[in-house]
């Protein structure tokens, strides 16, 4: 099997049937990583020996007549925000360099139990703070479609690795768009589930009420299969939802039969000035295709969308300021050398360990939480968040799902927005609202610009409405070939 562009489920089916050895699959992917990742910068760490051992165990299970799991032999990349027992986890930050967790995240444990093989840890914006992977303290990740352009962020390493076939699937986290936006910019599928649908245990916290772990895949059904394994209640995460996991793969396949009876909401607020004309044209063409599949397109209103960016950046910075207070040089991670006092250890450790973006968000968050400012900023943001969630709830009384662009622009060039934090924050303008509301959303490829850069279509569902997201996405994918496109081979 040619691994370039191969769907994860095709690999799993072949391995489980004994038609393909997991070890051979892993060797092919490790070879691609060795040859191509020097130019792309997707991986922070490659665990070749560990991957080979896991692949050999899967082959032994198949040979012995045992079921190795639904993801047998599927090579995955893990965003370096998921704790992996015995393997360094840094969040692409100097302050966590050489931190080796003594425990495994629930997500990676479930994927491993399902037969997936972890190849290594993937690059990201430091502590998931960014929209371009330019904020990694280690190195940038480049977009496989054009190395002069960013892959998006914060899960840029994950999206770029899947697009370039340096893994068959990957994990990511989405706090304000960090799965969907890079999926859009790299031309793959990325799914942000309902808040609490996937356990956050072992995921290093950025903004606890907004962080959503989720999968990347080459196809809608790949993403659905990964989510079926990742999802489910977890006693180690009090915010996880005690509800049965949906039949996501079945929903994706059901979409191939059409969308008769499905109402798709079209919010005017997501088609405002600032939306790139090529993006708008591709998304509207995709919506027309969904209508041809049987869906009825109806107008909906999300009037508080205009407050989403301000609301998000008040809440996420406040929570980040609180969460990142634990990195002080005392318990784990980086510690400044030879401090003369406890105060100096704190200030030097944090000054040396954090990059500019985490420092910026810590300071913003500390400011909005100050006495005298809390109610004027953070308290007001919480009320606005409630209004945004109410908008979605009202919209879903008249439609089953909402379709929009994922990103207002295609991939931008390195440095194009780095000097202007506000412009960088606006890259998330179409993705932050579903995080504030806690509802699921998926991005899939729906076209390319004239310059050959991918464009993404976003489908948003009601709470625990992952199945309708996968059904709509599956319908579009079955009628188009955008997901079959592969970027040119990188040259290391």
pLDDT in tens, 11-20: 999 999 999 9
∠ CA(408), CA(317), CA(170), 5° rounding?
A: 60
CA distance readout (Å), 276 to 55, 282, 305, 345, 420: 44, 10, 18, 47, 19
Structural domains of the chain sorted by starting position, each given as residue range(s) with its CATH number in brackets:
8-301+387-484 (3.90.1300.10), 304-386 (no CATH)
Q: DSSP letters along 166-191, please?
A: SSSEEEEEESSSTTHHHHHHHTSEEE
Coil vs helix vs strand at 398? coil
Coil vs helix vs strand at 404? strand
**What pLDDT sits at residue 491?**
47
Report the C-alpha gap between 206 and 135 in whole angstroms: 14
Average pLDDT over residues 394-399: 98
Report the C-alpha gap between 364 and 362 in whole angstroms: 6
From the number of C-beta atoms within 10 Å of its C-beta (0-12, 13-18, 19+), residue 338 rates as exposed
Extended beta strands in 128-281, E state: 169-174, 189-192, 212-217, 263-267
**This prediction's pTM:** 0.97
∠ CA(302), CA(252), CA(43), 5° rounding?
A: 85
Average pLDDT over residues 314-322: 97
**What pLDDT sits at residue 51?**
98
∠ CA(192), CA(55), CA(224), 5° rounding?
A: 20
**Is pLDDT at 490 greater than 70 in this prediction?**
no
Digit-coded pLDDT (tens) for 202-242: 999 999 999 999 999 999 999 999 999 999 999 999 999 99
Digit-coded pLDDT (tens) for 416-426: 988 788 888 88
Coil vs helix vs strand at 76? strand
**What's CA 27's distance to the chain center, in Å?**
26
Digit-coded pLDDT (tens) for 151-181: 999 999 999 999 999 999 999 999 999 999 9
CB 43 within 8 A of CB 120: yes
Percent of all residues in the chain with a pLDDT value above 70, rounded to a whole number: 99
Average pLDDT over residues 265-293: 97
Alpha helices (H) along 398-486: 421-425, 432-437, 466-478
Strands 401-405 and 169-174: unpaired
**What pLDDT sits at residue 423?**
85
Coil vs helix vs strand at 402? strand
**What pLDDT sits at residue 492?**
39
**Is pLDDT at 345 greater than 80 in this prediction?**
yes
For the annotated catalytic residues, the residue numbers are 79, 154, 178
Find the helix or strand (DSSP H, E) in which 442 lies.
Answer: strand 441-448
Given strand 263-267, what is the order of strands in its sheet? 43-46, 117-122, 75-79, 169-174, 212-217, 189-192, 441-448, 454-460, 401-405, 263-267, 296-300
Report the C-alpha gap between 471 and 140 in whole angstroms: 35
Q: What is the dihedral of CA 94, 136, 164, 222, to 10 degrees?
A: 80
Instruction: Tell me the Cα Rg of the chain.
Output: 21
Q: Count other C-beta atoms under 10 Å from residue 360's C-beta.
A: 16
Average pLDDT over residues 307-334: 95
Report the C-alpha gap between 13 and 148 in whole angstroms: 36
Average pLDDT over residues 181-198: 98
Residue 402's DSSP bridge partners are 265, 460
Q: Look-up: residue for tokens 């809608």?
A: 220
**What pLDDT sits at residue 371?**
85
User: Max alpha carbon distance in the chain (Å)?
Assistant: 70
């Amino acid at each position: 099997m040619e691994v370039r562009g191969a769907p994860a489920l095709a690999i799993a089916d072949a391995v489980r049937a004994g038609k393909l050895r997991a070890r051979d699959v892993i060797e092919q992917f490790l070879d691609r990583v060795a040859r191509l990742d020097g130019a792309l910068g997707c991986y922070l760490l490659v665990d070749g020996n560990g991957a080979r051992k896991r692949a050999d165990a899967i082959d032994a299970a198949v040979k012995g007549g045992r079921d190795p799991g639904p993801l047998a032999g599927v090579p995955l990349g893990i965003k370096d925000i998921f704790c992996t027992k015995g393997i360094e986890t840094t969040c692409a930050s100097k302050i966590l360099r050489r931190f080796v967790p003594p425990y495994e995240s629930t997500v990676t444990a479930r994927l491993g139990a399902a037969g997936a093989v972890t190849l290594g840890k993937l690059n990201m914006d430091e502590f998931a703070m960014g929209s371009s992977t330019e904020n990694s303290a280690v190195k940038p990740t480049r977009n496989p479609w054009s190395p002069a352009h960013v892959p998006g962020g914060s899960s840029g390493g994950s999206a770029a690795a899947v697009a370039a076939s340096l893994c068959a699937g990957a994990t990511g986290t989405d706090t304000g768009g960090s799965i969907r936006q890079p999926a859009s910019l790299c031309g793959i599928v990325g799914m942000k589930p309902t808040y609490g649908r996937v356990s956050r245990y072992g995921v290093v916290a950025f903004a606890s009420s907004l962080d959503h772990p989720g999968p990347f895949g080459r196809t809608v059904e790949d993403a659905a299969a990964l989510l079926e394994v990742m999802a489910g209640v977890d006693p180690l995460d009090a915010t996880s939802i005690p509800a049965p996991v949906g039949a996501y793969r079945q929903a994706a396949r059901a979409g191939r039969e059409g969308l008769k009876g499905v109402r798709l909401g079209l919010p005017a607020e997501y088609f405002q000035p600032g939306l790139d004309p090529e993006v708008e044209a591709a998304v509207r063409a995709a919506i027309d295709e969904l209508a041809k599949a049987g869906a009825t397109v109806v107008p909906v209103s999300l009037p508080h969308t205009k407050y989403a960016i301000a609301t998000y950046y008040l809440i996420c910075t406040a929570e980040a300021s609180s969460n990142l207070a634990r990195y002080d040089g005392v318990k784990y991670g980086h510690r400044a050398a030879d401090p003369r006092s406890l105060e100096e250890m704190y200030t030097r450790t944090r000054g040396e360990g954090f990059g500019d973006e985490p420092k910026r968000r810590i300071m913003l968050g500390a400011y909005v939480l100050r006495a005298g400012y809390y109610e004027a900023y953070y308290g007001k943001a919480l009320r606005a968040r409630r209004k945004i969630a109410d908008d979605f709830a009202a919209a879903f009384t008249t439609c089953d799902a909402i379709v929009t662009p994922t990103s207002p622009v295609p991939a931008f060039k390195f440095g194009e927005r780095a000097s202007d934090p506000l412009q960088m924050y606006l890259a998330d303008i179409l993705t932050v609202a579903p995080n504030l509301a806690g509802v699921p959303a998926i991005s899939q490829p729906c076209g390319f610009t004239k310059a050959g850069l991918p464009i993404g279509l976003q489908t948003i569902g009601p709470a625990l409405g992952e199945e309708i997201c996968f059904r709509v996405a599956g319908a579009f994918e079955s009628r188009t070939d955008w997901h079959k496109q592969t970027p040119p081979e990188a040259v290391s």
